[in-house]
Structure 1
Amino acid sequence: MPENHLRRMVMILLMVLSLALASCSGGGGGGGDSGFTTADYQFLYTYNAKNLSGHTIRWANVPIGVSAGAFADARTAFNRWTTASDGAVSFNFGGSNIPVSWSSSTSWCGLTTISWSSAGRIVSARISIARSQAGCSGGVPDTLAHEAGHAIGFLGHDASGLMNPFGGQDISDQEARFMKLLYSLAPGTDITGELGKSRSSGGTYDKTGSTIHTMTISRSK
């Protein structure tokens, strides 16, 4: 085989290989497929977006400020969500977005009051922790982590994992994926097209954010 013909064939093979590698690598950055499934979006809808006609509700800026100086376990408890979400959500201890305080209540372990605008931005969240954790699985550390989940956008209780009504369990894979997905989307993102079927919902999305909605959620004893 002539040398120039062989060289030409080698060059063609190298070009084909280069194109194949480029197509496999894909484009970097946001906006691509992050591996989230229809089930992930349905879970996000059930415990978040259904409260705003299918639009996401989250803090607009991360890290989120936490004021919990009276709680030695606060940093570890909140950072469970940072670890579970692979850093999608994080916290600034000493900030003021989420104040945490003690309560003398004996009817619940912890309680969170959270408010968000009709544009999907959380505007405030306050956590109260009962001084008496008798009957509270996992005690103060788990109650703090559970209430932290509510304060950053988990608006309800699921059947298993840390966010079940009684706590005392680890953050489940589904809950971790919930938080990763929520904080990969901008506040007020419409996810109804990802659900696979229509769902009933409450609240009315308004990009001006003129209406404030408030919810109070407690962890039972």
Structure 2
Amino acid sequence: MIEFEDVGLRYGHGPEILRDLTFTVEPGSFHFLTGPSGSGKTSLLKLLLLSLKPTRGTVRLFGQDVSGLDQDALLRMRRHIGIVFQEFRLLDHLTTYENVALPLRVLGQPESAYRANVTELLEWVGLGERMDAHPALLSGGEKQRAAIARAVIGRPDILLADEPTGNVDPDLSLRLVTLFAELNKMGTTIILATHELPLLDNFSFPRMLLRDGEIVIHD
């Protein structure tokens, strides 16, 4: 699903943020991405999201070297990748239902084709009774669950999560990661970046540790 070979990344003429990254991620796996602040976790996620290109080395997604893809091919590949941000990024003028359905609307799908799926997903994440509420009326945990639902409504093969529990309390953090684990059981490959190490002790997923621009995977 994901393969990095001797990948390095720098911004402009500065020092390398990431260097000599070599690892693989198998389809259907779940990895925690950890490391101290400034270690490059967000930069690594941007490489996976195809919003950055490596300075050197090879990144392969779905068996393809991404360096040779044109913009149209990159856009098609991005449709197989979901992303959940720490800051939710919900649109205030849209309801919960409309926010979650937005990726499908952008693709030109008629509401009749996706309404049942959006409704079912919102029920599954516990927002069935909040479908018509706007973000201003949602709690932090509800906003995060809406953001997760929006990220997975298109059934991505890969789901990236950048500190998704950073704005919620420990009990809700545990519930959210459990939700990601349930999504993983359905076949989605997940990489979840977090600095909350005690939270990880509740799960047996392998950890990708970034430190000083290099990576070590602990099974």
TM-score, structure 2 as length reference: 0.23
Which structure has the larger Rg? 1
Query: More helix per residue: 1 or 2?
Result: 2
Query: More strand per residue: 1 or 2?
Result: 2
